[in-house]
Structure 1
Amino acid sequence: MKQVIKGAFVLVLIVASGGVPASEASPYAGQETQELKALSESDVEGLLAGQGMGYAKTAELNGYPGPLHVLELAEELDLSEEQQAETQEIFNQMQALAKSLGAELVAAERQLDELFRNKSVDESTLSELTIKIGRVEAQLREVHLHAHLRQAQLLSARQSAKYMALRGYGRGIHEHRHQHHHDGES
């Protein structure tokens, strides 16, 4: 009797939901209308603007401050005029390179997308473009990581620790072991 009631309950649920459940929609559903299939509109905007896009996350979360955020926190970090000027230079150089590489990456993704859209992709072109995309992404990541490395060398240990606290990274970050601090503070 329990089996009959359970079976009837399941049947009522299936009918109430509109029939037999279909397979789950792809997480990509809706993205087929994007201009570039591999990049969202916000990804394209970020790349063209030279934004970090998470490329330097490993540096940031391991105690290597980013120049943009250091500039935003200049007063709280008590940056000297010299530190502020050098930080601005690090940021400007990073931004210029990141914008250029971001544009190159978007162009390569656009080319790859077009080849697939037009059904004209072949193995040779596929290989060339994916290698190029990988190379440009690696260069872009290096640009952002390099800026964090340069920035960390410019700040004192006290300033770096304060940066981490202000950014909300908590106590899990160990003290920096920079041998080349700007003012030698620990």
Structure 2
Amino acid sequence: MEIKELISGLEQNNAFSDWKKKNTSAYLSYLFRTYEDAANENKWSDWQVGYYEPNEDKLATFILGKDDNVTVQDHEEIFKKPDTKVRELELNKIKIDYKQALDIARDFQRSNYTHEMVGKILCILQDLENFNNIWNITYVTLAFNTLNIKIDAVTGKVVEHKLTSLLNMAQNNVMEALSKIKKKKE
């Protein structure tokens, strides 16, 4: 399985080993990759592998480049609600690799959202509270929508899907900001 091999290779890297010695309580929290052009299958970004340090409530991201090159972005702020726990990703439970997850998402999109032309793909493997180990795949479409498909990383079943307009999201954010400004003036 490519994901397990990827993490195994990272854990053998000197930069990771040195970092882990200083951050012994840190654990694997996500793997992330983008696909810049759905029409061209050679446009994958490098893998980003996130480790959460609970004592500091920070993330370290390891960017796995070509030729086993590893770049570390340490002590990054986390974008989460204050009461949200960053859960550990348990690789030993993962049965569906990313290529399988992408095939499942692609088939689902083609069967259920045929009118949406895919431009960019965001692919994240994480452990979410209501879903456990999940492939969280988001398509950014040419019609300025996002199609989010959550796939169980153990069974391969689509457990949730949602189409959202980026334009509506932007409009809602502007309206919310204006409402806050108005309340401050009152």
Question: So what's the TM-score if we normalise by structure 2?
Answer: 0.21
Q: Which has the higher contact order (CA 8 A, sep 6+)?
A: 1
Structure that is richer in strand per residue: 2
Question: So what's the TM-score if we normalise by structure 1?
Answer: 0.21
Q: Which has the larger radius of gyration?
A: 1
Structure that is richer in helix per residue: 1
